[in-house]
Every structure is written in C-alpha cells, then in structure tokens.
Chains A and B, each alone.
Chain A
Amino acid sequence: MSVTRFGLAALLASFAWGTAEAGEVTFWTWRQEDKAVYTDLFAAFTKANPSITVKFEAFPNENYNTIVTTALAGGKGGDVLHARAYGGLEALAKSGYYLPLDKTNVPELDNLPADALASESLRADGKVYAVSLAGQTLGLMVNKDVFAGAGVKVPGTWAELLAACTALKAKGITPIANGTATPWMDAIFGTVFTNPFLGPQWTADMLAGKTNFSDAKFAAALNKLTELKPCLPDGFTGVDYATSQTLFSSGRAAIFVGGSFEIAPFRRANPKLNIDFVAPPAPEAGQPTYVSRFFDSGFAVNAKSANAADAIKLVRWLATKDFAEPAAAKLGNISSLKGVANADPVLANVAKLNETAMPYTGLVYFRYESPTGTDLFQDGVQKLMGGTMTAQQVGDAMTQGIAKYYKPFQK
C-alpha cells in the first residue's frame, strides 16, 4: 500500500470524525506501569521524526480487551495499539480492525524471527498484524541472599529442590512464594515444573496427536506438583498473586515461580533484591532441564486510524533496535528482535536459557479457541493443588476440552 493511499485514507477518516490532531499518534496499552519508559522512548522518536508526537494512553489490564474491542468496533481507538499475541490477536485481526503488515509497508519485519512473527499472525491468512515486542521466559526467580543466608544451594534437581524446601523451612523461610488463588499463575506454575518432566519429544508427539494429555506421563508430571505442597506458603490455596509477589520481594520467600516479565516489577518493589533467574529443577542429576517460552505482545496499527501514515512510521520504528535496545534495558525484557543483546546479567542469563527453551504449550498452541489450553490447565492445577481433582482427571479434562477444536485429539 502506498503512502498516498494512506494519506487519502487519513484525510477521509479525519473528515469522518475529525478529532485527531495532525501529527499526533495515540498509543493505547494496558501497561500502566511502563508509562515513564514509553514517554521517554517516544520523545526519542519525536526527535528523529519532528513532525510526529506520540500520546501514551494506558488502561487497566483487566478491562483493556473490552475497551479496545468496543472502540475498534465503533470505528475509533488509538492509532497504534498494544496487541495481545496468539488467540488474543486473532479476534481483532479477523474482524479487520488491525492493518495487515508486510514487508512493503513495514520492511523492518525482517528484524524479527519466524516464531515471533507467527505469534502476531492470523493463522487463516498467514498475515502479520503486529510487531512483536518481547519474548517471555518462564522459570524460577531466586533470591540469592536468602539462599546464601540460609546456607542452602540453589537446587538443580527435583530431589535437591525438595531438600532445599525442608532446609529453608527449618530456618523459617517460605521456600516457594507462590499460592494458587490467582488462576493464571497456576498455569505458569504448572508449566514451569511439568515441562522438564515431559520434555520436547513428548510435546512434539502430543502436538502430532500421537499422545494427548490423558497420557500417564502427563499425569505423572502433574503429580510431581503435589509434592511441592509443603514448600508453598501456609494456606496456599488462599494466597493470591499480589501476596506471592510481596513474599518474594520482601525476602520472606526464597523462590518465585514465574516469568521474566516479573524481574522488573520485583526490582522496582525492592531495589536491593539480589535476584537471579534459573531453570526449573531437572528430574534427575545429569538430565536436561528446560525453561518455557512464549511471545507476549505486539504493536498493531488501527485499520481505521485517521493518521495511518504516521502510525506506520511509529510501528516501523518500534521494530528497530533504536527502540528495542533501550526498551529491553529499561523495561527489563527480552526483545523479540534478532540480535538485541542484554547488558543486564540476569536477563543475559534468561537469553541463554532461551536457547533450549520449550514452548509454553497451553498458550502457544491452544490459546486460539475456547476452552483454551491455559484456561483448562489453570483450572486443573488449581483443583489438583486444592485436592479436589486427581492428575488423571485434570489430564482427561484437558484432552476433552481441547478436542472440541483440535483435530488430532478427536478420536
């Protein structure tokens, strides 16, 4: 699509409601906490493109989907929109609310690896609708000072983890900060610990339909989770996300099971926190272990933007190192772009673990239709840990739920 055509579209659209200021691009996001960083970075963009200013508009995460959906359906909304990945992208892209991106309007797509592009593509037409921002890695965050203070080594195997739990508990430290009251956290908790027991081969077999979640191996991996009950806070079924965060950031817990996206908030909550990011324990000494990975969010252009030309300029810039390098450093994430190095030692560590990462299966493959893999898994893990469902029942429920839309499971 040519620039003149966008200019024309912009002109027509501004006739239609005429509120957009010339040269101002509005950016909508659910990342309230990143306002300062984006404001800084957008100032750099305006320096390079003096005719364009960017207005940062953040909404609460819980309401973001509804707000964006409504605004786009009503022909409004920000010019550039922070988009969800995978299924969350598809709902809006399918309806034609995002502008398709390709190498003619955004040549910078070349800077992104294939799996990052796929996370922001519509499966039906294969087109890319957003520039992926970051990859997220799931594993363990450990408080090095707490481990050192208790004289306990950071565990590398499952047996060491259980031993470390006992040792830490004896010193009055909560070994693992996580509770199970916040459902989305349960899917992450379950994925982190089960993936090393399942391994990449099992996942490939499952995706190919050779096996499914009713498999005994899956149940065995899930059952490992229940061994962790004594490591969790007292009354963990009632411990929510915010409490778990505080237990870890205040140094009262040694391990937080979560994602690399949590490193920055932890440091903000407690700048003295001596944090490291490690892979979950391997099943046995000498066996491989894996972190889990997915892509998180991206930048899309509103198909009805009154200022599409400028919006595209902004998105092109968001796909370059001019944005990605300082953003990765300041937001504390792993950029989706190829070859963006991380000076931060903890993030560099994450990047290294990523080389052998497994996918966050429930999200990467089964978050396109309802019931999603993550919804089924989080529900199952919550009930497994609460003692109202067995591992086999959780696996069966997942297979049944996913079979609704996943052909290989329909037998």
Chain B
Amino acid sequence: MTARWRLSLWIAVLLLPGLAVMTLFVAAPLVSSFRYAFFAFDGLLPGRFVGLANFQDVLTEAPFAAQTWRALWHNCIVFAALMATQNGLAYLIAFALLKALPGHRVHQVIVFLPVVLSAVIVGFLWKLFLHPLFGLVNAALALIGIHGLPWLGDERTALGAIIFTNAWHWVGFPALIFLAGMQRISKETLEAARIDGANDRVLMTQVIWPLVAPSATVVVTLTFIGSFNWFELPYVMAGATGSPGGATDVLGLYFYRTAFGTASSGLTDFGHGSALAVLMFLFIAVISGLGLRVLRRREIEV
C-alpha cells in the first residue's frame, strides 16, 4: 500500500463512524421528510404531488405568510438580542474570570449552574419571577415606586422576557468558550499590552477581542443557529401559539404547530410544515455558510 493510500484510508477510518451515524439517523430521515414539502396532505399520508405550492403558500398566502414573516422577524430580534445581552455579558464575565481574582473558580462554576437545568424548570421558575400577582421582579420594582407590567402577558414585553430568561439560562456557555479562548492568549502578549499603557477597556476591545476570534466564531455561529431553531423555552413559557397573540411566535414554534398541530386541535399538516422546515434549513445554511466565511477570514487576518 502506498503512503498516499494509507493516508486516505486513515482519513476514511476517522470519518466513517460519525458519517455513518449522521447518515442513518439525521440525513436519511430528514431527506425523506423534506420530500413531504412537495405533497399535499390530507391526514398523515402524502396525497398528491403539488410541486412548489406549499412553499408558495407559506411565503405568500394567508394565513401562512403573515405568520411566517412575523416569526422570522422575531427570530432576528432574538438573535440580535442574544448577541448583545447573553454573549456580551458572557464576554465581560469571561474577562472578569480571566483576572483570576480570589474565588474565580467558584464563580466559574456558579455562572454555569443554570446551564445544566432543563428548559421546563427554567421556564417555570422565570414565569414565577415575572408573575404579575406575586412575582419578585414586580415586587422589587414596586419598592422603587414602579408598577411593573405583566411581562409575559404584554405583547410589547413578552418576547423580551423570554429572551432575558434564555440569557440567564445559557450565559455560562459562551462565557466558558470565551474564557477558553482568552486563556490561550500568552501572558507575554497581555503584559506587553499593559506596559504599553492599555487599560482594561483597550485590553478587552483591541487586544483580546481579535485574539479570541476562533471563540467568537463558535459563539456567533452557535447563537445564530440556536436563535433560528429556538423552540424549547418559548414553548414552555408561551406555548405553541406564541402567546400573547403571537407576540412570541418564532419559526420553531410555528413549524412545530403547523406540522403536528396544537395539543387541542391536533390538526397535522406535514406538507406546509416540511416546506417551512426546508426554508428554515436553507436560510440558516446560507447565512451561516456566508457568516462562517467572514468569521474565518477574520480569524486568519489576525
């Protein structure tokens, strides 16, 4: 066997188990349900082939189109807000932990504790905290003379309240990734910057930030994909219809309720549901593909 062949074989061996499992349990089932997008459904069995009609329906026809665009817009808000709050805070926390002040190990565990909880319990806990009758948030606001809103019941604040809960739940994860990236920066680099007179702000924004570019790539990409597949927390806190009045409706909820129906109605529609899923896939794939290129280029430039 030539060395070249041996190397190819070695690469194949490395890739094989992962590819096999992915093909059997993700790719194959997904491809067969993507096919549904081209059929009209009456009940659970695909009926007649309708070409792109389902796609046209979800993008342009009532009652689908309005919900599609509204959900997409909400997903965009979720992404932007999580980038700013969750990941911004995570970066600050990682920087604070990097200083290795006394107790930083304990803090590192604490910031990650909520991550291990299930969405069911996190959603329920924050529903209690944000509750208009007995919630602590409004009780605290009342102390400073503010009459708090029913956060999850008001169309203007409901989405924000769920985003906030998500940030609380997950902030530990990007913090950990940023911290991992920051720890790999050599001590000399940081010292040199300090000697040049860089204060913390300069350090964070001009010295460290470019050097943790690989971590940022991971965080931004996972946040993007997570934001556009967002499902569990809004499902627990706002239900399948994105209560109140669709103010918290996102693509994940919309797709799920279209395909499988709500608990009360039980009306399934795999045709339109699959069409939505295909569109979500294309959207996420294209944007994250392009985004990754930009992010990667940034990594190399540094």
* B residues in contact with A184, CB < 8 Å: 262, 264
Size bin of chain A's contact surface: 35 or more
CB distance from A168 to the nearest CB of B (A): 16
CB-based contact B245/A238 at 8 Å:
no
Q: Does B88 contact A (CB under 8 A)?
A: no
CB-based contact A386/B153 at 8 Å:
yes
CB-based contact A386/B244 at 8 Å:
yes
Q: Does B155 contact A (CB under 8 A)?
A: yes
CB distance from B274 to the nearest CB of A (A): 14
Which of A89-97, A103-111, A280-288, A338-346 lies on the face that meets chain B? Answer: A89-97
In angstroms, Cα B45 to Cα A282, docked, is 47
| Residues of A in contact with B (beta carbons under 8 Å apart) | 30, 61-62, 64-66, 69, 72-73, 84, 87-97, 179-184, 233-240, 243, 367-372, 374-375, 378-379, 382-383, 386, 388-389, 400-401, 404
CB-based contact B263/A386 at 8 Å:
no
Q: Does B261 contact A (CB under 8 A)?
A: yes
Task: Taking A181-B150, A238-B132 as given, write out 14 further A-B residue pairs in contact, using a Cβ cutoff of 8 Å, ordered by the A residue number.
Answer: A62-B240, A93-B43, A180-B153, A183-B244, A236-B150, A238-B130, A238-B152, A238-B154, A367-B265, A370-B63, A370-B265, A374-B265, A382-B244, A386-B154
Q: Does B288 contact A (CB under 8 A)?
A: no
* B residues in contact with A84, CB < 8 Å: 266
Q: Does B108 contact A (CB under 8 A)?
A: no
CB-based contact B261/A386 at 8 Å:
no
With contacts A382-B245, A386-B244 taken as known, whether A91 is within 8 angstroms of B153 at the C-beta atoms is no
Closest to B152 in A: A238
With contacts A180-B153, A238-B150 taken as known, whether A91 is within 8 angstroms of B43 at the C-beta atoms is yes
CB-based contact B243/A183 at 8 Å:
yes
In angstroms, Cα B258 to Cα A318, docked, is 33
With contacts A66-B260, A69-B260, A88-B267 taken as known, whether A240 is within 8 angstroms of B245 at the C-beta atoms is no
Q: Does B229 contact A (CB under 8 A)?
A: no
User: Count of B residues near A, CB < 8 Å?
Assistant: 37
CB-based contact A87/B267 at 8 Å:
yes
CB-based contact B153/A65 at 8 Å:
no
* A residues in contact with B193, CB < 8 Å: none
CB-based contact B245/A97 at 8 Å:
no
Contact with A along B235-265 (1 / 0, CB 8 A): 0000111011110000000000010111111
* A residues in contact with B133, CB < 8 Å: 233-235, 239, 243
CB-based contact A372/B44 at 8 Å:
no
In angstroms, Cα B96 to Cα A211, docked, is 66
Contact with A along B148-174 (1 / 0, CB 8 A): 011111110000000000000000000
- Contact among B44, B153, B260, B267 for A97, CB-based, below 8 A: B44
Give 5 closest A-B pairs by Cβ, nearest first.
A235-B132, A238-B150, A238-B153, A237-B153, A88-B266
In angstroms, Cα B267 to Cα A89, docked, is 9
CB-based contact A183/B241 at 8 Å:
yes
User: Which one of B44, B151, B245, B268 has the highest number of Cβ atoms from chain A below 10 Å of its Cβ?
Assistant: B245
- Among B97-134, those with CB < 8 Å from A are 127, 130-133
CB distance from B297 to the nearest CB of A (A): 42
CB distance from A303 to the nearest CB of B (A): 12
Q: Does B42 contact A (CB under 8 A)?
A: yes
* B residues in contact with A378, CB < 8 Å: 241
In angstroms, Cα B157 to Cα A386, docked, is 12
CB-based contact B267/A237 at 8 Å:
no
In angstroms, Cα B268 to Cα A73, docked, is 13
* A residues in contact with B266, CB < 8 Å: 65, 84, 87-89, 91
CB distance from A33 to the nearest CB of B (A): 15
- Contact among A234, A240, A389 for B127, CB-based, below 8 A: A240
CB-based contact A237/B154 at 8 Å:
yes
CB distance from A158 to the nearest CB of B (A): 25
* B residues in contact with A235, CB < 8 Å: 132-133, 138, 149-150, 153
CB distance from B17 to the nearest CB of A (A): 26
In angstroms, Cα B246 to Cα A372, docked, is 15
CB distance from A219 to the nearest CB of B (A): 18
CB-based contact B155/A401 at 8 Å:
no
CB-based contact A388/B245 at 8 Å:
yes
User: Which one of A96, A370, A388, A404 has the highest number of Cβ atoms from chain B below 10 Å of its Cβ?
Assistant: A370
User: Which one of B131, B246, B265, B268 has the highest number of Cβ atoms from chain A below 10 Å of its Cβ?
Assistant: B265
Closest to A389 in B: B245
